Amino acid sequence: MNIKKNQIYFIATCCLISLFMLTKVAHAESNPIGNCYYVSSQRGSDTNSGLSISEPFKSLNKINELKLNPGDKVLLENGSVFEDQYLQIKNSGNIEACIEISNYGDRGNLPIINTNGKGVWYQDYGKPLPNPWHKYKGNVSSSILLKDVEYIKIKNIEITNDREKSQPDHLAYNDLKVMDRTGVASVAKNKGTLENIVLENLYIHDIDGNIYNKHMANGGIYFISELPDNEEKTGIPKYDNIIIKGNRIKNVSRTGLAVAYSAYFDLFQNSAEIDQELIEKYGNTNVLIENNYIEDAGGDGIVTMYCSSPIIQRNVSNGAGRQMNTTDYPIVTQRVAAAMWPWKCKNALFQYNEAYSTKNADQGNGDGQAWDADSADGTIYQYNYSSGNSGGTVMFCLEKAVNSTFRFNISQNDKKGILNLPNNPDAHIYNNIFYIDEGVPFVRKDMNTGSALIENNIIYNAGKQPINEEWNPNNRIIYSNNLYCNYSNLPNSDNTALLLNSQESNIFVSPGNGPVKPNFNYLTYDRFNQNTVFDGYKLEQSSPAIHSGKKIIDKNGYNLGTDFFGIKLDGILDIGAVKSSK
């Protein structure tokens, strides 16, 4: 891996966690060390024992009444519909055996929990949040609630929490007082560090929560840490070894997936650079978010918060920011959303992700980007693909976005302005491909006061005529050794620039023909076999980008590693995100 040693360690740790959980599940199946409880809405009865397929419980209420022990399983029958029901797990597994919640039965529809506003609990961070618009306490309805529990694995369940099927609250859908809702919520409070929680292959949709509340447990999957009753006695509430993978989340309000807002936010407010000891003491560690598909999130797609070296990889966001417009969201403040980004994280790694059609930058969404390094230290975006995002490709957000790296990514026809630089102190942007639609500026006009070093990129204007670009509106950007296609001017700082006219250029095999919508199977597109949907961005045999790259020394200490297609980089670099075959 072309990342720092500490990130290699965390990737290895996450892989071991997954292997551990799978090993424990296999052990439980072959040598049961706990009970297996069966629940069927179709053929069950709450007077049954629940301990066999022939005597299943009927309702989830029976599970909520149980004291689950390490090694116990709760299995919901495929095809079952649990209307107006929910699960509130109050007990933990342990290092020897997790508690598992999953499905059983003949192949068919997954068991579905339709919560419809039930399962209400009270969230309270214990103190007001820095922004007075951000709600910090109140009722939340969650289909599955994990409160102060650990060593839990939940998989193969469908979940909804639909407001239209709930008891009428006589409020407009976008009223400030609408109750927050979640598919799966996890709360750390009075048990210190919660370890080993796995959420896998869940289909979470139609979670009609509050449009505005971004730090309540409000959306598809949301983890939080509240102030404990007695920190000296129970320890600091946070998470370690969290795996969220293979889930499909669609049509939720407000956030698709978030791990994990913390009541200790005030410890991270002063310095831009995040102290490693501080984030490991109060933040979340060993967080892996991979292979998830998020569609039509009302606000943000995936957000990691207060994490040390989280790994966010091979996820897809499609249509994030759905409700960030002046009709759905009439209140101006905090009407912002992007596809995938960190908040107050140290060394967050985003790689192999795809972001499509993040919405509404032209209708009131103040962001709308695919990617956003936001008040984070050491964020790296690499090997990602973005297309058609209304607010641009990437933002480095304000003064506390520091030590950011953006490399070996491909952007195709993102809108409004490719780079968003709102007063950030630094960003190292190198060896990317920016294929830019007609009329779209390279630097977004309302976010152009920040600093960046931009080198070895291919910047390709796909318009009909060469344009005169405003490359450096505030004289804080340095360009070096980039290839510019179809421009009538160059940045003053780029003394080794290559300039080509699009009509006579032979840079790529077939530019502009990358995917514009996600893969039909909800996974990222393959890029490692011989023929891929990204092949149009491979270099022509006679491309002037070949062997024209400069030597790159990453400003944040990362090794180069591979190109966009996973080809190892050695020898003379090419310009752009793709290594030639020469």
Q: How many CA atoms lie within 13 A of 338 on its CB side?
A: 25
279 or 17, which is more confident: 279
Does the structure show a pLDDT above 90 at 345?
A: yes
**2-45 tens-digit pLDDT:** 455 455 444 544 444 444 444 333 333 333 689 999 999 999 99
CA nearest to 290, candidates 246, 339, 350, 340: 246
Please report the pLDDT score of residue 7 as a whole number. 56
pLDDT level of residue 226 (50, 70, 90 thresholds) = very high
Among the listed residues 206, 240, 367, 414, the single catalytic one is: 367
Please report the pLDDT score of residue 166 as a whole number. 81
What single DSSP character describes residue 62? H
Region 259-270: mean pLDDT is 97
What is the distance between the alpha carbons of residues 533 and 551, in angstroms, rounded to a whole number? Answer: 29
145 or 33, which is more confident: 145
Q: What is the DSSP string of 4-44?
A: -HHHHHHHHHHHHHHHHHHHHHHHHHHS--S-EEEE-TTT-
Q: Is 165 helix (H, G, I), strand (E, B) or coil?
A: helix
pTM: 0.94
CA torsion, ordered 331, 132, 391, 306, to nearest 10 deg: -150
Chain-centroid distance of CA 114 in Å reads: 25
Please report the pLDDT score of residue 295 as a whole number. 99
pLDDT level of residue 429 (50, 70, 90 thresholds) = very high
CA nearest to 318, candidates 415, 389, 239: 389
Region 273-287: mean pLDDT is 98
Peptide bond into 248 cis (omega under 30): no
Please report the pLDDT score of residue 3 as a whole number. 55
CA angle 335, 339, 342 (to 5 degrees): 90
Q: Is 115 helix (H, G, I), strand (E, B) or coil?
A: coil
Residues 539, 485 contacting (CB under 8 angstroms): no
Please report the pLDDT score of residue 503 as a whole number. 66
- For the chain, the domains span 5-435
CA angle 344, 223, 37 (to 5 degrees): 155
**372-425 tens-digit pLDDT:** 999 999 999 999 999 999 999 999 999 999 999 999 999 999 999 999 999 999
Please report the pLDDT score of residue 356 as a whole number. 99
What is the distance between the alpha carbons of residues 270 and 209, in angstroms, rounded to a whole number? Answer: 32
What is the distance between the alpha carbons of residues 468 and 490, in angstroms, rounded to a whole number? Answer: 8
Residue burial 41-63, b: 16+ Cβ < 10 Å; e: rest: beebeeebebeeeeebbbbbebb
Among the listed residues 374, 494, 563, 574, the single catalytic one is: 374
Answer yes or no: 367 catalytic.
yes
- The length of the chain in residues reads 582
pLDDT level of residue 80 (50, 70, 90 thresholds) = very high
**89-135 tens-digit pLDDT:** 999 999 999 999 999 999 889 999 999 999 999 999 999 999 999 99
The domain defined by 5-435 folds into: Pectate Lyase C-like (2.160.20)
Please report the pLDDT score of residue 32 as a whole number. 65
CA torsion, ordered 80, 519, 457, 569, to nearest 10 deg: 90
Please report the pLDDT score of residue 21 as a whole number. 45
Q: Which residues pair with 238 in a beta bridge?
A: 193
What is the distance between the alpha carbons of residues 87 and 101, in angstroms, rounded to a whole number? Answer: 10
Does the structure show a pLDDT above 70 at 267?
A: yes
Does the structure show a pLDDT above 80 at 361?
A: yes
Answer yes or no: 374 catalytic.
yes
Torsion angles phi and psi, residue 436, rounded to 5:
-115, 125
What single DSSP character describes residue 149? -
The pair of structure tokens assigned to 180 is 């927050």
Q: How many CA atoms lie within 13 A of 394 on its CB side?
A: 30
